[in-house]
Amino acid sequence: MQTPLALLQPAHGAARRPGFIGWLLIAPLIAWLVAFVVIPALILLVYSFCQRDELGELVFSFSLENYWRVFGYVHDESGAFAWDPTYLQIFGRSLGCAGLTTILCVLIGYPVAWTLGRAPDSRRNLLLTLVMIPFWTSFLIRTYAWIIILSENGLLNGLLQYSRLISEPFPMLYTPGAVIVGLVYSYLPFMILPIYGSVEKLDNSIVEAALDLGAGPLQAFLNVILPLTRPGVLAGILLVFIPAMGMFAISDLMGGKRVPLIGNVIQDQFSGQARDWPFGSALGMSVVVLFSIAFWLGTRRQPES
């Protein structure tokens, strides 16, 4: 399995411009991207410079006000600029939350992917299927299942009380921990699969050579295995970090919506109470820019081969 990042890398600088057939083959992809990514993004860009009227309809008046608000400069009552980092703090919190999720996914996902990649062929398919089985059920249903497990009258608390480990129900649902559990659960497969792709391609003789030449297991891992599986890890990080940053359903359902994350705030601008599409667009554009920077940082300075 090739990882998305590996696909982006030109093969040994032998990249050719695609010929006519090549363009024809990727035309559907380009059309799809233009229709559902480029055009909507341009619409968002235009909206983000507009304002809303009394009823919430768009008013086309070019201003940077929405961006000032995102980055903490707002007009106070006298009309002067005042510093108000509310949305920057929300950005920061969302980054932290997505970052923690990503780290946990790497720590849990890497050993799993390693085991998968090294398993004998006969067992490997079964294990891979096990990783993918959760996708057969709707995401929302899986999240509601977590509510049933974690609530105070729920399965886990019932089990702990029955086994007399605790006497009073322990609040687990609607805590920041529950949000992280939900996020890690949802995105773990997106970490496992690309790392698995790298591990599977790893030539075992290279690892054996390292061990034969006197490297300890830790040294072999850090100096040989990790660099060789790096593309998979990086692809996994992008696949987990970016969606985790925008996720709002889990913090709604499992976190009780107590602390706003950037996804919640944006959703609230579009279909929630705030109904400020221009401001929501400005927040959305800011996220896009942030992701572009993250992507650029993640993909540059790749080893040449």
Binding site for other proteins (CB under 8 A): 54-57, 84, 86, 89-90, 147, 151-154, 169, 171, 173-174, 256-260, 265, 268, 270-277
Q: Would you call 201 exposed, middle or buried from its count of C-beta atoms within 10 A (0-12, 13-18, 19+)?
A: middle
Q: How far is the CB of 50 from other proteins (least distance, A)?
A: 14
For other proteins, the closer CB: 178 or 285: 178
Of 33 and 148, CB closest to other proteins:
148
**Residue 65 CB coordination number (10 Å):** 18
CB of 260 to other proteins, least distance (A): 6
151 vs 229, beta carbon nearer other proteins: 151
| Nearest to other proteins of 92, 111 (CB atom) | 92
* Closest of 176, 139, 172 to residue 158, by C-alpha: 172
As measured in angstroms, the least distance from the Cβ of 198 to other proteins is 39
In the chain, which ranges are continuous DSSP H helix?
4-8, 20-33, 39-47, 65-70, 86-118, 121-132, 139-150, 155-162, 176-201, 204-212, 217-220, 226-246, 249-253, 262-270, 277-299
Between 223 and 271, CB nearer to other proteins: 271
Considering beta carbons, is residue 96 or 171 the nearer one to other proteins? 171
* Rg, the chain, Cα only: 23
Q: How far is the CB of 53 from other proteins (least distance, A)?
A: 8
Provide CB contacts within 8 A for 8, sequence distance 6+.
299
Burial of 129 (0-12, 13-18, 19+ CB in 10 A): exposed
Least distance from C-beta 253 to other proteins, angstroms?
Answer: 9
The CB-of-213 to other proteins minimum distance in angstroms stands at: 55
* Least distance from other proteins to the Cβ atom of residue 275, Å: 5
Separation CA 200–CA 202 (nearest Å): 5
Phi, psi values for residue 59, rounded to 5°:
-120, 120
- Nearest CA to 4 out of 242, 250, 287 is that of 242
Minimum distance from residue 222 beta carbon to other proteins (Å): 40
Structure tokens given for 50: 């507009």
* 74, β-bridge pairs: 82
Nearest residue (CB) to other proteins, 111 versus 256: 256
Q: Is 115 or 161 the residue whose CB approaches other proteins more closely?
A: 161
Q: How far is CA 260 from the centre of its chain?
A: 17
Q: Which residues of 149-176 are buried (b: 16+ CB within 10 A; e: fewer)?
A: bbbeebebbeeeeeeeeeeeeeebbbee
